[in-house]
Structure 1
Amino acid sequence: MSHTVLIIGAGPGGVAAARAVRQYLEAEDRVIVIDRQDEQRLGVTLLSIMRGWHEPEDVTIKPSRVLAGVAEFVPAEATRIDPVNRRVETTTGTLEYDALIVATGAELVPETVPGLVTALENGSAGHCWSLPAALHLRERLRCLAGGRVLIVVTRLPYKCPPAPYEAALLVRDLAVERGIGNSVEVTVVTPEQSPLAVAGPEIGRELVALLNQQGITVLTGEQLVAVDGRHREAQFASGRRELFDLLIAVPPHRAPTFVQEAGLAEVDWVPADLRSMRTRFEGIWAIGDVAAVRIRDTLLVPKAAVFAQQQAEVAARDLARWLGRTAPEPELQAYGRCWFLAGRGVAGAIEGDFLAEPRPKVTFQSPSTDGFALMQQELAAWLAQDPARRH
C-alpha cells in the first residue's frame, strides 16, 4: 500500500524533511512539498542583504530544483488544514495526505504592537525579518545622516535569536564605514533579563561586553507596548520611553493563521514532542520555527535553521516508522551553531548543546576573520544544494 506524505513549507526544515522522509519510504510512496514561493534563503543572509553585502539572487536557492527527484514541489499557498479528514486546502486545490509535516515557519504580525505598522509604513521604523523589509531597511540606512538607532525585541520567541544584536553591530559598522560613526547612537532593548537568555547568563554577559566595546547600549527587562511613529518614541510596560530617529523592531512572530485555525497551536505556537516532533493530532508532525519544542519547563529549542534541520530528521524517522516503513529510532538532539555576523569580514558563533544537564552548555566564539571564512564556507555548501548554483 502506497502512502502520501505532505510537507507544508520549503525552508531549511521542510527541504531537510523531504530528503529524510524520501530515504525511509518505498518507491511508490509520494512526498509532496507545498510552498507559495519557489525561493529560500538562510536567515543570516537577510542581515548581509540589509548591510549591502549581498543581493537577494546571490544567496537564494529554488526548492523546486533542490527537490527534483526527491519530492513533488507544488507552488501554492496552504490555506486550511483538515486534521480529521487529512486534507490540506491550497490556492491551487486540495491535497490529501496520510502523514503531514508542518514546516511553515513563523508569521510576522507587527499589527499586534500598537503603532508599529504605521511606523513601518512611514519609514520611521524598519526590520530585517523578511526580504522586502531587509531591502527597505538597507535603503533607509544608506540615507541615515546620524541620530539614534533603537533596536527593539518586541516579543519572545522570534526566529534567528542573535539577529538583533548582529543588526546593532552592523549598523555601527556601516556608520563607521560612512564616516558618521560619531553621529550615530545605537541602543538595543530586549524584554529578557539577559540577552539570549536561552543560552545562559554567561553568554549574555559576553554579548553585552562585545556590544559595549563598540559603543552600543543594551537595555534589558523592557517590554515594548506601543510605538509613536509621529513623535518617534517607543513606549514600554515599565513606563520607560525611548526616543529614536530610526527604530529597528523585531516584529512579533506566531504560527500562521491557517495553522492556528486548524487547532494545532497553543498560545501562538504548535507544541511538538522533542523525541518525535508529533503534535496532538494523529498523523501530524511540526518542525522548525512554527513549533514549540520544549526541552525543560522554561526552555524551548531556539528558532534557527540548524535546529529545524535536526527536527526534520527526527520527524522523518518517526513518521516513516508510524507508516510501517523501516527507519532508525529517532535520535534526540538539540545541538547547534548559530553564526554571529559582527562586521566587515568578521563573524563569531554561538554554539552548544541545549540538552546538556543541568543547563545548556553553550559557548560564544568571538568574531574573527577565521569565523567569517567558515561561515562563508557553510553558506556556499548550503547554496550548492541547488544544482544551478554549483560551480
Structure 2
Amino acid sequence: MKNLVILGAGTSGTMMANHLVSKLPKKEWKISIVDQYKTHYYQPGFLFLPFDTYTEDQVKKEGKKFIPKGVNYIQKKIEKILPENNKVELEDETIDYDILIIATGSKIAPEETEGLLGPLWHKDIFDFYTFEGALALRNKLREWEGGKLVVHLTEMPIKCPVAPLEFTFLADAYFTKKGMRDKVEITYVTPLSGAFTKPTCSKSLSYLLAEKGVKMETDFAIERVDNETKEIIDYGEKKIPFDLLVTVPTNMGDEVIERSGLGDDLNFVPTNKHTLQSIDHENIFVIGDATNVPASKAGSVAHFQAETLTDNILLYINGFILKEEFDGHANCFIETGHNKALLIDFNYNTEPVHGTFPFAKIGPLKLLKESVLNHWGKLAFRWIYWNMLLKGIAIPFVSRNMSFKGKIFDIKKN
C-alpha cells in the first residue's frame, strides 16, 4: 500500500482530497490529510464581517465534514517535512509518504513590521485577514465616530490581492449608509505604483477610488508604525497619520515550511508554475497559497490549480510526463460598494480586460465594469464555495484555463 499525504485541510487540501479519493485505486493507495485545526473558514467572508454583511456562522464550519469518506483525517500539528526520507513529523508520530501535497497556505505576519503588534493592535489598528481581526474590526466600526481611516497594504504577495481595495470601497458605502461619510477621511496606501498590479485594471480601480473621494498614496514602503503619534512611516520617513488603521500585514507561508528548509524568504515553496510540482523534489507537489507561483493567492486560483494537479498526480503515478498546463488563471469579483462589483479574469500572460463572461456576446457578466449582477455573483460564491468548490465539483462554464471568448485583450509574452 502506497501513501499519498496532503498537508493542510484548508481550501486547497480539501479540494485535492475530494478530487483524488475517487481517482486513486483504493487497493493501492491510502490518502491521508493532516491539519491541526478543527474549524474551516470561508476566508473571502472575512471581508464582509466588519460591515455586518455576514455573520460569524456564515464563514466557518467544522472542517472534518468536508473530508470525504475513504480519506484518513489526522488532526495533529505538523512539525517538520523530511523530504530526503519521504517522511513528515507530526506532534507525536512520524508518517511516511510516496507522494506529498503541500497545501499549508499562508497567513499574516504582523511581527514583520516594527510597531504593528504594539499597544494599538486590535484597538485602533486592525487586520481583516483573520477571523479574530475581522470580528474585532466589526466591533470597532459599530461604535467608531469618524476620523482618518487609513487602509494599508504592506507588501505583495498577499491572499486575494484586490481585498484591500474592496475593503476601501465597502467602507465608503458603509459610512455613507450610516450618514457619516463626511466625517471619515479615507486614504488608501500601497507599496505599488498604482491601485493594482495589472495596468488596465489599475486604471479602472484608481478611477473608482477618486470617484469615491478616497486619497491614494503610492510607492509607500512601510518601515514602522508609531503607536504614540498614530502614524505609519516609510523608509523615506514619509508619515501618514491615522485614527483608525486597517492594514494587510506581510503574508508568509506556514512556519513548517521554514522549519523544513523548503521555502523562499517568505516561506513559499518554489514550484513549477505550470505543473505545480516542487522544483526540488519530484514526488512533492504544491498548491494554493503555499506556492511561489506568480498567480493570485485566491480560492478561484486554487480551484483551477486543483484540476491540473489532479491530472498531474495521476500522470506521475503512471510514469508519464506531466502536463505543463496551469496558466495562472484567476477569476475574481471585486466589490465596489453600493451593491455593485467588478469582475476580472486574467492569467500569467494576459491582464484583466474588458468584455463579457463566461460567454461571448451574451455574458451575462461584464468584465471590468460595475454591475449589480457582479455583486450578486460575489455573494453567490459563498454557496458555491461550501457546496461545490470544496467538494471538487467543477463550476459550470468556467474552464480551468483562461478563455479568450468575449474578451478584448493583448497577449503578452513571458
Quick one: which amino acid aligns to residue 277 of structure 1?
A: L
* Distance in 1 of aligned mates of 2:47 and 2:120: 18
User: Alpha-carbon deviation of 1:367?
Assistant: 3.1
* Range that drifts further, 263-272 or 324-333: 324-333
The answer (yes or no) to whether the contact 2:172–2:212 under 8 Å persists in 1 is yes
Which residue identity is paired with 1:379? R
* CA distance in structure 1 between the aligned counterparts of 2:291 and 2:151, rounded to whole angstroms: 26
Q: Do structure 1's residue 214 and structure 2's residue 212 form an aligned pair?
A: yes
Aligned to 2:304: 310
State the one-letter code of the partner of 1:324: N
Deviation larger for 241-250 or 81-90: 81-90
Q: Quick check: 246-255 or 42-51, which moved more?
A: 42-51
Match of 2:54, as an amino acid? H
Matching residue within 379, 382, 386 for 2:382: 379
Contact 1:315 1:330 in 2 (8 A): no
TM-score, normalization: structure 2? 0.85
Query: Residue 185 of structure 2: SS of its match in structure 1?
Result: strand
SS at match of 1:334: coil
The Cα shift of 1:191 comes to 0.6
Higher mean alpha-carbon deviation, 367-376 vs 146-155, is at 367-376
Matches within 5 A, 1:253-272: 253-268=251-266, 269-272=268-271
**2: CA distance between counterparts of 1:319 and 1:332?**
14
- For residues 15 and 362 of structure 1, the distance between their equivalents in structure 2, rounded to whole angstroms, comes to 31
| Cα pair 1:335 1:354 within 8 Å, conserved | yes
Distance 1:26 1:330, change over 3 A: farther
- Counterparts of 1:111-126 in structure 2, within 5 Å, are 111-121=111-121, 123-126=123-126
Residue 242, structure 1, aligned to residue 237, structure 2: no
Percent sequence identity over aligned pairs: 24
Q: Which runs of 5+ in 2 are unaligned?
A: 355-366, 392-414
Report the CA distance between 1:70 and its aligned residue.
4.9
- Equivalent positions of 1:181-220 (< 5 A) are 181-197=181-197, 200-220=198-218
Mapped to 2, the partners of 1:337 and 1:20 lie a distance apart of: 21
Partner of 1:345: 339
Counterpart of 1:78? 78
Deviates more, 1:97-106 or 1:364-373: 364-373
- Deviation of the 1:175 alpha carbon: 1.3
- What residue number does 1:15 align with? 14
- Which position in structure 2 is the counterpart of 1:370? 373
8 Å contact from structure 1 (residues 278, 285) kept in 2: yes
- 2-side partners of 1:383 and 1:20: how far apart? 15
Corresponding residue SS for 1:121: coil
Residues 353-378 of structure 1: per-residue CA shift (max 9 Å, x gap): 3334xxx3544533322112222333
The farther-off stretch of 168-177 and 155-164 is: 168-177
Deviations 1:278-329 (A, max 9, x none): 1112311111111111xxxxxx111111111222232232223222379984
Give the aligned residue type for 1:382: Y
- Residue type at the aligned position of 2:78: A
AA matched with 1:93:
E
User: Please, what TM-score do these two structures have when normalized by structure 1?
Assistant: 0.90
Displacement after TM superposition at 1:235 (Å) = 0.1
**1:297 aligned residue:** none
User: Alpha-carbon deviation of 1:247?
Assistant: 0.7
Letter in 2 for 1:75: Q
Give the direction of change, closer, same or farther, for the CA distance of 1:97–1:202 in structure 2 (3 Å limit): same
**By how many angstroms is 1:190 displaced?**
0.6
RMSD value, Cα: 2.1
Write the letter of the residue equivalent to 2:214. I
Letter in structure 2 aligned against 1:354: Y
Number of corresponding residues: 375
3-state SS of 1:15 partner? helix
Query: Hey, what's the Cα distance between the residues in 2 that align with 1:215 and 1:92?
Result: 55
Structure possessing the higher relative contact order (Cα contacts under 8 Å, 6 or more residues apart): 1
**1:234-289 deviation digits (Å, cap 9, x = unpaired):** 00122210000011110111111211121211221211002221111231111111
